[in-house]
Chain A
Amino acid sequence: MSAEETRPVRSSQDVVVVRQAVRALAIRLGFSLVEQTKIVTAASELARNTVDYGGGGIVRLQTLADGRRVGLRLTFEDKGPGIENLELVMKDGYTSGGGLGLGLGGARRLSNEFEIVSRPGEGTRVSIARWR
């Protein structure tokens, strides 16, 4: 079983809708309550980054299956200003927008896989996966 859908991430309201969509998928995949909460929280952090810093973008939601286990991959993409210093923004406590600076580092800790690609002036793509 594998499925893929793409959703807009442009507004605060979209962040709410993305959380609900991720929750529904996680439930369908049989994630435990704690696993659901972790992936939904990570999605919330990344969706908010996409809106606040990326100027809006999209998220691709994919269910994963490698024969032994199932999982969920979320890929957030924006065409915003990009990130100059990736190492710096991954640090807890670093923020450029008045937040707590936990978004990226927190999302990485809440996921099993984490990947970020960013080019200044072109945009940012963050992908996380969590396996059941």
Chain B
Amino acid sequence: MESIPILRTSEFLLVTIQVDMHDRLAMALQEDLTDQIVRYHSRGVLIDISSLEVVDSFIGRMIGNIAAMSRVLDAETVVVGMRPAVAITLVELGLSLPGVRTALSVDKGMDLLRTSLPGTPNGGS
């Protein structure tokens, strides 16, 4: 079955969304990701949406759900790489992704996670 690969770095999980999402794929991603957070004790998840030309309320809801599930499992989520046209459209759509942190690139997202997570190199307290 089609699935979205999850990459594991030494500290974080990285999901690059490149395909047009549909329901089953989104559900599978939520399951895979929560499994891996628990298995690898990951404290941070990066969701790279730089390939996405459209983020509608369905994808927005999925991203919000992933962030909420991760938080419950003691992991932080950062959405990285949003395209400018997508940002403009999202705000007009009425979707501002509350509770989801964003960064402009994967590197910046990792920096953000490192500084906000205690117990990681450069992390707070």
Show the binding face of A for B, using Cβ within 8 Å: 12-13, 15-16, 19-20, 23, 33-34, 36-38, 40-41, 44-45, 48, 92, 99-100, 102-103, 105-106, 109-110
Q: Let me know if A41 and B94 touch, CB within 8 A.
A: no
Which of B9-37 touch A at CB < 8 Å?
20, 22-24
Of B38-46, B48-56, B109-117, which binds chain A? B48-56
With a CB–CB cut-off of 8 A, which chain B residues contact A19?
20, 54
Show the binding face of B for A, using Cβ within 8 Å: 20, 22-24, 53-58, 60-61, 83-86, 88-89, 92-95
A interface, over-half SS:
helix
Q: Nearest Cβ distance between residue B66 and chain A, in whole angstroms?
A: 14
B interface, over-half SS:
helix
Closest 4 CB pairs of A and B: A12-B22, A106-B93, A44-B56, A37-B85
Q: Let me know if A12 and B60 touch, CB within 8 A.
A: no
Beyond the given pairs A36-B85, A38-B88, A103-B57, 10 more chain A to chain B contacts, judged by CB atoms under 8 angstroms and listed by A's residue number, are A16-B22, A37-B89, A41-B54, A44-B54, A48-B58, A99-B58, A100-B57, A102-B95, A106-B93, A110-B89
Q: Let me know if A99 and B56 touch, CB within 8 A.
A: no
Q: Let me know if A41 and B61 touch, CB within 8 A.
A: no
Partner of A110, one of B61, B84, B86, B93: B93
Q: Let me know if A38 and B92 touch, CB within 8 A.
A: yes
* Given known contacts A99-B57, A106-B93, A34 and B20 CB-to-CB distance under 8 angstroms: no
With a CB–CB cut-off of 8 A, which chain B residues contact A100?
57, 60-61, 95
With a CB–CB cut-off of 8 A, which chain A residues contact B93?
41, 45, 102, 106, 109-110
